[in-house]
Amino acid sequence: MAFELESYLSSSIEKIIKNAIRASLKKPNMSLFLAQYALSSKVAQKRRVEHSTGTHIPPFLIASITNKCNLYCKGCYSRANNTCNDTENTQQLDVIEWSGIFQEATELGIGFILLAGGEPLIRKNVIKSAAKYPSIIFPIFTNGTMIDETYMTLFHKNRKLLPVHSNEGDVTITDTRRGYGIYKQLMTTMDAMHLQGIFYGRSITVSMANIDNVTSTIFLDELYTRGCKLVVFVEYVPIDGQSDELALDDNARILMDQRLNQIRKTYEDMVVISFPGDEKSSGGCLAAGRGFFHINPDGGAEPCPFSPYSDSNLKDMTLLEALSSPLFQKLKDSSILLQEHTGGCVLFQQESLVKELLSK
């Protein structure tokens, strides 16, 4: 049977929502929101078909709303490719421009917009703007160090905003990469969110150094008992050129797949997602608009965060126009997105080819 990308993506969203509703049954406010969102997601799917007019509308976007971050994590891909700095870029999209993007995404039927950075919580005005769009869920990938009482209140009142804290495993592994005391701060925040019934998740960068730790029962039990209901495993990409040995090899990927299957069986009411592992079921990389694309802080439309190249900008065009950008079209027409890869990202490994397509 031929692979149907739209069916795969739609069924994946439906499964995530169903699992999330089950995971939140003891949290009435969250269950009500997710039930309402389940209905709106069907409307969104219909909108994606109606607005496609020959252009595939992905259900996901990744939006890096700032280039600024307050941490200096070892091996950070954003700092390595100079897209993350200590000061905010004066050319970045303002809150009105981001609101326009969120509005158009709603009209096109895009149901998930992952907010990233830098550290996205630096831009509270954009986060508050996102809360105004009820048909979109906004996972916010944050280092967790800026979640104060104001943010706790915002997350409690706006269930569509889902904080996803980043870490690398236990206290030693996490503090070694992110800084002394970060692990303890994350645990305190997790406990506070659990106490208030806020639905939250964890994003875990998986490498050869921590794969056993972050897939262990001890580690996952701790997340589970602290109320974490979403776990996103992301393969480490050695973008700094100095840590290739940390990228998962073929044997580690096989092991990761096996453990993911067991984790999903053991923690049935916890949503577990893996990138790029879960992309295998899609028939290849989902970047460049096949399943998502990335908007950088300045508005550039990029294939994905690990392939920071663009020939179009949302300051000058609509989302629909950006989806048909020459670079995206060339990537989808070529075989690059379907190639096998090592190191967590096919486009990162095919950087020279992407640059070549961009220059044509």
> Which one is predicted more confidently, 239 or 131?
131
Q: Which one-letter DSSP state was computed for residue 72? A: -
Q: What mean pLDDT is reported for the chain?
A: 84
Are 20 and 31 in contact, with CB atoms under 8 Å apart?
no
> Which one is predicted more confidently, 310 or 47?
310
Question: What confidence category does residue 3 fall into, taking pLDDT thresholds of 50, 70 and 90?
Answer: very low
**Structure confidence by residue, pLDDT tens digits, 23-44:** 676 677 667 777 777 777 777 7
Are 211 and 256 in contact, with CB atoms under 8 Å apart?
yes
5-359 classified as CATH 3.20.20.70 = yes
pLDDT of 135 higher than 50: yes
Tokens (6 digits) for 171: 């206290």
Residue 13 confidence (pLDDT): 59
CA distance 37 to 158: 13
Of 97-101, 123-127, 244-248, 293-297, give the lowest mean pLDDT range: 244-248
CA distance 233 to 214: 9
pLDDT of 8 higher than 50: no
Integer angstrom CA distances of residue 152 from 30, 68, 189, 190, 339 = 15, 21, 9, 11, 42
Question: What confidence category does residue 206 fall into, taking pLDDT thresholds of 50, 70 and 90?
Answer: very high
Residue 59 confidence (pLDDT): 84
**Structure confidence by residue, pLDDT tens digits, 59-71:** 889 999 999 998 8
- Identify which of 132, 137, 125 has the alpha carbon closest to the alpha carbon of residue 161: 137
Domain ranges in the chain are 5-359
Q: What mean pLDDT comes out for the span 143-167?
A: 93
Q: Give the residue ranges of DSSP H helices in 24-141.
A: 28-50, 77-80, 95-108, 124-130
pLDDT of 9 higher than 70: no
Question: What confidence category does residue 241 fall into, taking pLDDT thresholds of 50, 70 and 90?
Answer: low
> Which one is predicted more confidently, 76 or 282?
76
**Structure confidence by residue, pLDDT tens digits, 77-109:** 777 777 777 778 889 999 999 999 999 999 998
Q: Return the axis-axis angle of helices 351-359 and 326-333, rounded to nearest 10°.
A: 130
Question: What residues have CB less than 8 Å from 167, skipping those under 6 apart?
Answer: 144, 174, 178, 182, 183, 186, 202, 203, 204
Residue 105 confidence (pLDDT): 94
Residue 340 confidence (pLDDT): 63
Question: What residues have CB less than 8 Å from 336, skipping those under 6 apart?
Answer: 285, 346, 347, 350, 353, 354
Are 13 and 41 in contact, with CB atoms under 8 Å apart?
yes
Question: What confidence category does residue 134 fall into, taking pLDDT thresholds of 50, 70 and 90?
Answer: confident
Q: What mean pLDDT comes out for the span 5-32?
A: 63
**Structure confidence by residue, pLDDT tens digits, 266-313:** 988 788 888 876 666 556 677 778 788 999 999 999 998 888 889 999
CA distance 25 to 34: 10
CA distance 325 to 303: 10
Residue 4 confidence (pLDDT): 44
Residue 132 confidence (pLDDT): 94
Of 52-56, 157-161, 233-237, give the lowest mean pLDDT range: 52-56
Peptide bond into 118 cis (omega under 30): yes
Residue 220 confidence (pLDDT): 95
